Chains A and B, each alone.
Chain A
Amino acid sequence: MTILGARPRIAVAVFPGTWSERDFLHVATEVLGWQARPVWHAERDLGEVDAVVLPGGFAHGDHLRTGAIARFSPIMEAVEAFARSGGPVIGSCNGFQVLTEAGLLPGALMRNDHLEFRCDWQELRVESPSSAPVWLGELQEGEVIRLPISHGEGRYVADPATLDELERAGRVVLRYATATGEVTDAANPNGSDRGIAGIVNAAGNVLGLMPHPERAAETEVGGSDGLRLFRSLERWLQERPAPAERRVSSS
């Protein structure tokens, strides 16, 4: 049971070839003092956790297609069950790609339009944070945050009807933007449809984003806007009306 004020417990899935699990674990344990556990992809049990992280990297070497093999890793059954029961799930970078392959989020991530890998700090406009208080409760509509991006295949695409529906339902929550919050082609680092950098599922508990919030959690590494996503989760866990025991396993 999650007790008010208790330390959040998170599971960070580790696939062969992912790497940002190390950075998520650092933020969770060293910066925030949470309990965090790496879970190898071949496991089937997430244990008792409040949230699940799908990290960035090159799961299974991105062979076949980004996320396409990871989606079939044994742990994903437990992740999917956890997500469908309303458990908070965040997929960053490669994790976002896995979420789309797993069908937990719509659309797909394609090769950047300029065909190059891109690593840089990136301004993002926050939209409809109320659609996903789990992850964005500490953020304001229309504000601009700065997070690192680091990807070769981050161009978000979906068919126009899906894009329209995402926008209508307030499920587009982050867009690539200028420092003043304008969504322009020049500010779009990869050619994503409508400048989309992050979306949530209809229930608002599953967030997929290409940027790396775990790399922006301490000012000395260049910024701490990413920490606000973690703080949002912490607050949501404390304030949610009926803390539920979450032990999700596919076995």
Chain B
Amino acid sequence: MTVVPPPAEQLHGLTDAEYGLVVDALGRTPNAVELGMFGAMWSEHCAYKHSRPLLGRLPSSGRQVLVGPGENAGAIDIGDGLAVVFKVESHNHPSAVEPYQGAATGVGGIIRDIFTMGARPIALLNSLRFGPLDADATTDAATATRNRYLFGGVVGGIAGYGNCIGIPDVGGEVTFDSTYSGNPLVNAMCVGIARHEEITLARAAGAGNVLLLVGATTGRDGIQGASFASANLGDDREERRPAVQVGNPFLEKLLMEACLELARRDDVVAMQDLGAAGLTCALAELTARGGVGADVDLGAVPRREAGLTPYEVLLSESQERMLIVVTPDGVAEVEAVFARYELHAARIGTITDEPIIRCRDGADVVVEVSGRSLADDAPRYEVRGGPFAPSSSAAVDDLASEAPSAHVLLALLGAPNARDRKPIWRRYDHMNGTNTLVGPGAGDAALLRVKGTSRALALSIDGPGPARVGALDPYLAGASAVVEGAMNVAVSGATPIGITDCLNFGSPETELGAWQLTRAIDGIADACRALDLPVVSGNVSLYNETPQGPILPTPVVGTVGLIDERDAALRMGWRPGEEIWLLGDPADDAGALAASELAWQRGIHDGVPVLDVGGAARVVGLLSLLAGRGIARGAHDLSVGGLGVALARMALAGGCGARIELEASTVPTATLHGERAGRVIVTVEARRASELTSAASDAKVPARRLGRAGGSGLELRLGEAELELSIDELSTAWRRPL
């Protein structure tokens, strides 16, 4: 059969070849509604056409894993019959055109993923990227103004949604770089707690069971959001606003409480939230996972406006909706739960044995497709990365040998990428639920107690470290993001138990984009193996490109750690008299400065970064031991600005100075401001220092004594160079407004 595809504007983003595959799958040509469904479901956003073959490289199993990738979120056993349920997701493209609603609905979407699993959400985190907020050498004034508008809108949207629904926003990170101008990144993570027996999967089953569409009504918002998120951002941002949905956190709060009541019931077979590609995606995934079909009456879908076409009903991305499969004898009681919360619960169809989704509009059958074709049969494209050619750099070598100065340290501490984030997080309710033991700004990871147990969860979300390392080697971007997360959790005294990842990249259809994506995934996979961490959920956001080019490769990792006895948690600051030690590779070499904040400030965009993932994993293991035995008291991960900035942050956190003495070095600036991942500062009482060194030696972790806490300022001697900084000076630099 010769297939003549319709013109491109009717193809919903499918290629001619993909259209041919649709015809093969159906055994006939699709009608316009079906074609729209395939266009959305086979978009990169829903089908992971370019990334799925690569994602198979990530380790996803482990003894404690209860639910791995493929469901609404992953779940890991934390003891006491409880599970932690978590996932991170991007909302980059919507936030680029409508920052408030784009970010708000990103938060709403990830929360739905968690309570759909039957877990009560207890925490939100977010990872953000923007272009510079102030004009500089990379950014003109108009662009900076636009960046500031996007930043304000995104932070406002996250605050607006999370505060209203009542889930604390306990942590996050933000980096500014010119490649994100016009293409901000908004990655939101949600963490919930469920009893094992209440975990609900999105797997339809049982012919005759009833499909209930619950929550909000269906309207014309967000149509084609999935395909919009699967293309580069052009200059037509304003025209793309209709692809962005509008959030209603109040409605979702009601939906959440109703669904959490349902999760305890046996007559609820499955729950699936409606996100990208709306009803189409929910129907396709529910039926495909369960190997069943569905008979759906589109006329029964509650609408917020008249005249919606079947296409619009099936593709609308109106927020705060869920699809629930209920046994027939349970429907009345389930409807009563929704009625109490004043929510719609419409019976829109039934589950069938025949694995076909059949949608009726009045008497007409308008759709007849298999859920599996929509959900699973999109073509997979091989993405192949080229080899990595490191470029050594004389400029980095020169920078490394520069004499350290207080001026440079203060400039790094006060850089937009390092300074205090309180202007952001004080807009987020971070205490709701009274579980927050360590909130934003107070530690490298947030620490939340698990009520009714002695345990606490340590939560962190991190991009690569250094933040721009992906520009030099995307493999290290992936590996270092995993290491950063594990370190941040471990310096809280917790043992990392699992991660969720969000892969933010440019177009996979370019050689550069393909190479970056492939290498980053290999880096994540290798680091996960070294740290014995499963990836239990995740999300991929490609086509993060503007006419000015792609973003930095930005794999983002959400890490969950567990402390069995939360009294053993470590703090970030130090106390007078404590000894200060550096654990891990001392990084006394110019390569430690490659991709660092300081190198970028100087316009140096080359060098050869390295990372010993195995060594980092040994540091993580050692930290758990030091915390568990009560040897270490304070700990802090080295990140932006390296050792110098980390010492300053610990001094600020403890409100106490320190005297630090480092040996003379030929690369003092690398020692002080190198950003190689996998290193931490720990503090111990002097009488326990020998326990520290012997544990470090057993763990084959280098340990270097840096000095002792005390006094009213940071005195730092590095060979001949002497830096003296008062707590006030540090505070003024760090607390500059964003």
Contact = CB atoms under 8 A, between A and B. Distances in A.
Bound pair (A, B): yes
Interface of A: 16-17, 19-20, 22-23, 26-27, 30, 40, 42, 57-58, 60-63, 116-120, 148, 150, 152, 212, 214-215, 217-218, 220-222
Given A16-B342, A117-B159, A23 B164 contact: no
Nearest to A19: B166
Contacts, number: 83
15 contacts: A16-B341, A17-B253, A19-B165, A23-B433, A42-B340, A58-B253, A61-B164, A61-B249, A62-B164, A117-B163, A118-B427, A119-B426, A215-B432, A221-B435, A222-B436
A29 to B, nearest CB: 11
A30 B432 contact: no
B426 to A, nearest CB: 5
B217 to A, nearest CB: 16
B434 A117 contact: no
Nearest to A115: B156
A150 B428 CA distance: 8
Contact of A221 (B166, B250, B431): B431
Contact of B434 (A63, A120, A218): A218
B376 interface: no
Interface size class of B (residues with CB under 8 A): 20 to 34
Contacts of A61: 164, 248-251
A109 to B, nearest CB: 15
Contacts of B629: none
A40 B258 CA distance: 14
Nearest to B167: A19
B427 A150 contact: no
Nearest to A40: B340
A58 B434 contact: no
Contact of A214 (B253, B340, B434): B434
A117 B254 contact: no
B430 interface: yes
Contacts of A148: 431
A63 B342 CA distance: 15
Contacts of B196: none
Contacts of A118: 426-427
A42 B428 CA distance: 30
Nearest to A119: B429
- The 9 A-B pairs at the shortest CB distance, nearest first, are namely A61-B250, A19-B166, A150-B429, A119-B429, A58-B164, A23-B434, A117-B427, A17-B250, A148-B431
B434 A119 contact: no
Contacts of A22: 433
Contacts of A26: 434, 451
B431 A119 contact: yes
B366 interface: no
B432 A23 contact: yes
A20 B427 contact: no
A169 to B, nearest CB: 33
Contacts of A220: 437, 449, 566
Interface of B: 159-160, 163-166, 248-251, 253-254, 340-342, 425-437, 449, 451, 566
Nearest to B163: A117
Contacts of A63: 250
A104 to B, nearest CB: 24
Contacts of B248: 61
Given A23-B433, A40-B340, A119-B428, 17 more contacts: A19-B166, A20-B166, A20-B432, A61-B249, A116-B427, A117-B159, A117-B427, A119-B426, A119-B431, A150-B163, A150-B429, A150-B432, A152-B163, A215-B434, A218-B434, A220-B437, A221-B449
A20 B431 CA distance: 11
Contacts of B160: 117
Contacts of A16: 250, 253-254, 341-342
B557 to A, nearest CB: 26
A236 B342 CA distance: 39
A32 to B, nearest CB: 14
Nearest to B438: A222
Interface centre among A19, A27, A217 (most CB of B within 10 A): A19
Contact of A119 (B165, B430, B437, B566): B430
A149 to B, nearest CB: 10
A19 B432 contact: yes
A63 B253 CA distance: 14
Contacts of B165: 19
Contacts of B429: 117, 119, 150
A127 B431 CA distance: 26
Contacts of B250: 16-17, 58, 60-63
A207 to B, nearest CB: 20
A44 to B, nearest CB: 15
Contacts of A218: 434
A221 B436 contact: yes
Contacts of B340: 40, 42
Contacts of B435: 221
A19 B257 CA distance: 10
A19 B168 CA distance: 11
A221 B164 contact: no
B262 to A, nearest CB: 17
A20 B433 CA distance: 7
A221 B437 contact: yes
Nearest to B248: A61
Nearest to A16: B254
Contacts of B431: 119, 148, 150, 212, 215, 221-222
Contacts of B249: 58, 61
A220 B431 CA distance: 12
Contacts of B254: 16-17
A151 B429 CA distance: 8
A67 to B, nearest CB: 14
Nearest to A22: B433
A150 to B, nearest CB: 5
Contacts of A20: 166, 432
A123 to B, nearest CB: 15
A203 B662 CA distance: 67
Contacts of B432: 19-20, 23, 150, 215
Nearest to A150: B429
A40 B341 CA distance: 10
